[in-house]
Structure formats: C-alpha cells, structure tokens
Structure 1
Amino acid sequence: MSQPRLDVNDQVKGSAWWGIHAARYFFAVPHVRGKRVLDVACGSGYGLAVLRRSAREVVGVEVELDVARRARVEVSKDTFVSIIVADGCKMPFVNGCFDVITSFETIEHIHHRARFLEEIRRVLKTDGMFIISTPNAHYTQPVNGKPRNPYHVYEYTPEELALELRNYFKYVDLFGQILSPRFKVSPFWDDQRRLPHTIEVQSMILLWRVLNKLPVILRDKLSQIFWGHPLIPTERDYEFSPSAVETAPVTVAICRQRS
C-alpha cells in the first residue's frame, strides 16, 4: 500500500488517507503531553494541530517551500506552533532542544538515511523520544530491493528498521499499524487485492465499491446496516500492536536513549 503525502483535499475528515495518516499523530499524542515537539517532514501541517492537543509547543520542519506555506496557513491561529523551511538532514536547531520528535512516512524517501538519523539524535534531548513510521517491506514487497512506489528510495523490513535505529538509539520498540478487524474491507485497492478470492469476500469487495460511489450520508447509512460502521475508517479505527509487526502494512517505532 503506497502512501502519498496528504494534499489539501486529503485533509478532509472522511478521506481514507486522512484516517491512516492522522492515526499516527493520535498515537503520538499521549507521549507529547507538556513537551516541546518537532515534526520532521510535516507536510501541509495537518498533524501539527493534533500534536498540539497535548504538547506545550510544536515545530514543523518541511523542505518544500510551497507545502510549508500551506502548513503555515493551517496553523496560523496557534502561536505555539511554528513552521521552519529546512532539510531534515540539516536542521537549524541547537543540540538537544526537543523532548519528542516525530517523523511519519519520511525515511523511505531519503537517500542519506544515516545522516537523517544522526540529525534526529543531535537535536533530541538525551532523555527524549523519537517516533517514526515507515512502510513494512514484508508487506510492500520491493522487487530486488527496489520499492514498487516510485517515490520511495528504500523500504525496511521491521528487522532492518530496528537494526538501523539501534545504531542511534539504545531502546527501540516496534508496533504494527493495522486497521481494526471490525473493518472487513480496507478502503485501499492494494489491501483489497490481497484479500481471499472467495465468492463471499469478493462479493463484499464489490458491495464496498458500489457503496463508495454513493453520497456520503447514504453510503455510511448502508455501511452501518451491512457492517455496523461507516464505510471509511477514521483515525480512531487503526490499532498499533507489537504482535502485528511482521505483517502490518506500516511499522511504527518508538526510540529512546533511556528506558
């Protein structure tokens, strides 16, 4: 399941991409309470407001100027949220100035990944926390090491990711991000094509696709009747489980220097 960065339309709650991306920020919220937080590759800023729900201050770093301008509009009403235009491999911050750093779906786009992780460690406090997510290569199945997603440079297996992160952090805990099992059909085509090719399952997929073409109110009303939930999962419909690391589409890691 290739996951593009959210554009302005994807920020609307109800978009399938909103749910899967925003869920990671909500996962991070309990860890940022009262903290100074940096979000590297913040994109159009949709996650900064989520982090700000419990963080004392949030700084977003974005390398693309036009995207950073959009992010500034997104967070302009909060004086404790700021956007910096910078490369995540060379950031304009002093050593050890952030309590928590987040960077979701970023490292797979970077050629100089070691430099990126060194920079993360440099600006993170010694007792700080780094939360990162990236596609799981066991799931995405690169061909001869080359990701199928043309925008990705490298995709890690969970084992590779943990090994890489442990070069920079003493403690690394892995989680698999999965859709709640109450959703029998994922909203993403790549997930749907992996489902069993039985008549029952393929009929569910066909029904899902028919419902997805209907107006939202009617779509969700019928989905509630058939499955007991709205058709499109929200940020609350994703789980982060250590037991799902090997098979989940996305790997999330929490990294620390101290336990």
Structure 2
Amino acid sequence: METIDFDRIAPSPETRVLDVGCGEGRHVHAAALETVAEVVGVDLDPANLAAARADYDEYVAGESDVPVTFCAGDALRLPFADGAFDVVCCTEVLEHLPDYESALDELRRVCAPGGTLAVSVPRAGPERICWALSDEYHEVEGGHVRIFDREELRAAIERRGFRRVDGHFAHALHVPYWWLKCLWWDRDQRDEAPLPLRAYDRFLEWDVMESPRPVRLLERALDPLVGKSVVYYFRLEGRA
C-alpha cells in the first residue's frame, strides 16, 4: 500500500532514491521495482528495518536488480552527504517529530539540486476526529504530536527552496478503520477488538492483497473528499 505515486515522479535509470522513516519498507520495495540507480531506506527502529529487509528478500529481490540498502538513522541527523539523492521520500513521519523543521532541513540537505521531495502527512480533517475520539491515539509513545495544516507545511518546505509540482490525497478507505480503532482504543489494545473493527481490518487486508478494481476506483473517487493522507511533490530549485 504505497502513499507515494512513483508515476508522478518519473524516475530515470540514474535516479538515487532515499526513503526517510522507511518503516517496513513499502516505498523502498516500490522504488526498487522502478528503473532507478539505487534505493536506500533509513529508519530508527531495528525491528522495522529487519522486517523491511525480510520482505525485500522474499518478495522483491527476485524481481529487481536495483541495489537496495537499509540502514539505521535519525531524520534529524541523516548519515549521508549533501545532495546525495535525486528523490527523497518522507511519508507519515513528520507528524511524529517535535522538531519537524530540523527534519525538513535534513531532507533539503540530502536532496540534489533539481531533485524531488515527496512528503505525506495525515490530513487535518480525519486526523482531528481521531484525536477527538481517543486521547491515547496521539499520547502513546512515538505517537502523533501535531495536526498539520497542509498549507503551513507546504510553506515550510517552500521556504527551503522547493517548489510544489504536484499533490493528491490518499487512503480514503483507511479513515473509517482509524475512527473505529480510536473509538474502541482501550479494547483494541487489550486484543478485544469488537467485530466491526475486526471485520474492517480483514477488508483492508483483502484489498491490499487483491487490489480489486472496483474498490480501487471507489477509493480514488473518495480520496479528494476524505483521503487520510495529503501527499505533496516538490522540486528543489537549481540545476540538476
């Protein structure tokens, strides 16, 4: 389930891709199936990196010749040289960081002139309902520390020399799941999730695995209205 649409980036065989806060590697795996030069995923959590590597070895390695690296690192202190990557992705990460502006500085630093920055954060409307339904949702360790105004985020990125070139919303069908999860947060944490939440979870798993066309078309129609994530694509001003 990718949030970033690589068709909107149009990478080339020379493109170097970095995914900051790669989690279990969904965008690393997707980028590795494109025609690119290399892909690097960085994350703070060793368990995430292990899962990302295991899934890559099982599902992607046999389908791709692209060099892929997973490494531990902090979004506030990325272990890479200035301008090392042509595409920098950062999805559903900034809302977890108290000092997200320093993270933006690092994303800017490692992005090559003329390169692309792809960023996503939770959309404010659906996110506010999650916060209203459950304090625990955003108070858990490592949880969300802010609700982004998307134009404020866009302005913060553009102050660093980027120009927005595209954008969209994503994952509308995941919004009801998170509302149900927040509504029954205490029960879900005790592995006592009620039937509606368990049933919707199974529906999403089926959708991810099977990708049925009618459901994909439904979500595409709903995304502009209630998409859970807002996704922006920026170009770093300057010659490539």
> Structure 1 regions of 5+ residues with no counterpart?
1-21, 194-208, 221-228
Percent of pairs identical after alignment? 23
1:89 Cα offset (Å): 1.1
Residue 162 of structure 2 corresponds to 170
Matches within 5 A, 1:172-187: 172-173=164-165, 175-178=167-170
Q: 2: CA distance between counterparts of 1:63 and 1:161?
A: 23
1:256 Cα offset (Å): 1.4
1:161 Cα offset (Å): 1.4
> Secondary structure at 1:37's aligned position in 2?
strand
> Structure 2 regions of 5+ residues with no counterpart?
183-195
Residue 112 of structure 1 corresponds to 99
Q: 2: CA distance between counterparts of 1:173 and 1:240?
A: 22
- State the TM-score, normalized to the length of structure 1: 0.64
1:137 Cα offset (Å): 1.6
> Secondary structure at 1:149's aligned position in 2?
helix
Residue 28 of structure 1 corresponds to 6
1:58 Cα offset (Å): 0.6
1:107 Cα offset (Å): 0.3
Q: Does the Cα contact within 8 Å between 1:38 and 1:100 map onto a contact in 2?
A: yes
The code of the aligned residue for 2:79 comes to P
- State the TM-score, normalized to the length of structure 2: 0.69
Q: 2: CA distance between counterparts of 1:149 and 1:105?
A: 14
Larger radius of gyration between Structure 1 and Structure 2: 1
The code of the aligned residue for 2:17 comes to V
Residue 26 of structure 2 corresponds to 46
Is the counterpart of residue 254 in structure 1 residue 206 in structure 2? no
Q: 1: CA distance between counterparts of 2:118 and 2:221?
A: 13
1:46 Cα offset (Å): 2.8
Q: 1: CA distance between counterparts of 2:101 and 2:71?
A: 22
The code of the aligned residue for 2:42 comes to V
Q: Does the Cα contact within 8 Å between 1:140 and 1:147 map onto a contact in 2?
A: no
The code of the aligned residue for 1:62 comes to D
Residue 87 of structure 1 corresponds to 74
Q: Does the Cα contact within 8 Å between 1:134 and 1:250 map onto a contact in 2?
A: yes
User: Which has the larger share of helix?
Assistant: 2
